[in-house]
Chain A
Amino acid sequence: MSDLIITAQKLTKKFGDFTAVNAISFAVPRGEIFAFLGPNGAGKTTTIKMLTTLLHPTSGQLTIAGFDPVKDQAGARRTFGIVFQDPSLDDELTAKENLELHGVLYGVPRDVREKRMTELLGYVDLADRTNDLVKHFSGGMKRRLEIARSLMHHPQVLFLDEPTVGLDPQTRNKLWEYIRTLNTEEGMTVFMTTHYMEEAAKIAGRIAIMDHGNIVALGTAEQLIAQTKTQNLEDAFLALTGNALRDQDATNADHMRSMQKMWRPTNRR
């Protein structure tokens, strides 16, 4: 118990008749970098949303740092930081104001807030842009700022949902450098999803390959390669998930979700 920071048992999420996540079970020990790898529409983001209290699971058990994200939302929320797939900064505020707002939301006292803001903006190389409006930032700068923001309350687990999509190789390398440092020096657990095989192979301790809402394989990059008798992780990934293009699947899933939303009163237009 003590060393497993995330556990999921038979975690399931259904949208109407569509099963986005199908009874998956996994556990992440404290201090690990754990990666979810999978084609579009595999259920990676849905899983992260359940772990981070944004979605209620249809069934199954979850714990994060000892808290149940369904029963004790506030407790669970204090333990993690998250960098979403899409940007989530307020463009009309400055870099510093974004961090400040986050600090207040998480109840970080003012003096600690001030110290961490300076520290973190320096850490992600944005110290000279402290008082600039975020709307003037490039994609890479926004990502770095989001990472800094997610660390303001010193989380035990950091969730990264495809954090490097659309970034140039330089920025990607720099990002992984920050994350690796956090992991090795602060012992922070990192839970990430990505499309980039080489990133997963380089960064992650263990990798779970997800497809159609199921975990089809779980292990280190070497284990996955050995298991599929392939040369590299990309081939192992294709061996496990097949060569079929997933656009169709993803669209169907998205379509189901949007139909579902249309019929749900909260989201009616």
Chain B
Amino acid sequence: MMYFMSPRVGRPALIYHLPYLHYLPYFPLSVIYILWLRQIKRYLRSRARIVGSLGQPVLFLFALGFGLGPMFEKSGGGNYIEFIAPGVVAMSILFTAIFSGIEMIWDRQFGFLKETFVAPVPRLTIMVGRTLGGATVATLQGFIVFLITLLAGFRPDSWAMLPLAFLCMFLIALMFTALGTAIASTMEDMQGFQLIMNFLIMPLFFLSGALFPIDNLPSVLAVLVRIDPLSYGVDALRYSLIGVGHWPIALSLGILSGCLAVFMLAGSWLFSRIEL
């Protein structure tokens, strides 16, 4: 890595010496890596958080999966565990990702954000490093929940599709970490967290079709489900894990990527405007 960097400034020497080029957006990989690594270390060091955030998905999986399962099967819906397992994985990613983004408020309150803001690194680079780190953590969390669904008796339709499933998981994670960062950029403390929980995270989850099939819905609900970006994440994940999807996979992936781009842009714009 360092061979390409001029030592003092961490910028490729050639680019730095060409006039004007150093005003272009520039991402020192070492900086992105160290900020990514920081998120991972913080995650691995907080065992309580890992275990704590597994509680909810496990509860959904077991209580709903086994509780509603018989009824779901009788009405012709098929195996309910198989149906909600991808939804529960998506849910754990959604929660962890948004929280990873919002965690930035702690950094703001504990002053660490200032340390990164006075460093000679563009803010966009800081945002990218943080977001990649948060998304990796959320994907890991999703992977752990996926392992738990295996314990509950879930089996993917085709193991060969697993890489696609991981791609979907990472896309969902990135998208919502960026959204979390965008929201956190506009907040000074955790007072608004309850509001976000009840009016953003919960609706995103409940309206995503994670728990119920989305064909033949009443029209208002059908519209809400189509507005919720997580619906496409859940559907893509369901397609790659059990081979059945409501929308074509390309459409879902396209919409996910589009939303990711929008959230990233909004996030980096809001992040660049933070004043300390």
* Neighbouring A residues of B185 by C-beta, 8 Å: 266
* Neighbouring A residues of B28 by C-beta, 8 Å: 107
**B34 and A54 within 8 A (CB):** no
**A101 and B7 within 8 A (CB):** no
**A54 and B38 within 8 A (CB):** no
A to B contact number (C-beta, < 8 Å)? 107
**B46 and A88 within 8 A (CB):** no
Across the interface, B46 reaches (CB within 8 A) one of A84, A92, A109, namely A92
Give the distance in Å from the alpha carbon of A75 to the alpha carbon of B187 in the complex: 29
**B112 and A105 within 8 A (CB):** no
* Neighbouring A residues of B8 by C-beta, 8 Å: 78, 107
**A78 and B120 within 8 A (CB):** yes
Chain A residues 34 to 69 lying within 8 A of chain B, measured CB to CB, are 49, 52-55
Give the distance in Å from the alpha carbon of A89 to the alpha carbon of B114 in the complex: 10
Interface size on B, residues (CB 8 A): 42
Residue of B whose beta carbon sits closest to that of A266: B273
B11 beta carbon closer than 8 Å to chain A: yes
Chain A residues 214 to 269 lying within 8 A of chain B, measured CB to CB, are 261, 265-269
Give the distance in Å from the alpha carbon of A110 to the alpha carbon of B186 in the complex: 36
**B7 and A107 within 8 A (CB):** yes
A197 beta carbon closer than 8 Å to chain B: no
Residues of A within 8 A of B (CB): 49, 52-55, 73-75, 77-78, 80, 82, 84, 86-93, 97, 100-102, 104-110, 112, 133, 149, 261, 265-269
30 chain-A/chain-B pairs, Cβ below 8 angstroms: A54-B114, A74-B9, A74-B122, A78-B9, A84-B115, A86-B111, A89-B111, A89-B115, A90-B107, A92-B41, A92-B46, A93-B38, A93-B42, A104-B31, A105-B31, A105-B116, A106-B10, A106-B119, A107-B5, A107-B30, A108-B7, A110-B2, A149-B115, A266-B185, A266-B270, A266-B274, A266-B275, A267-B275, A269-B186, A269-B191
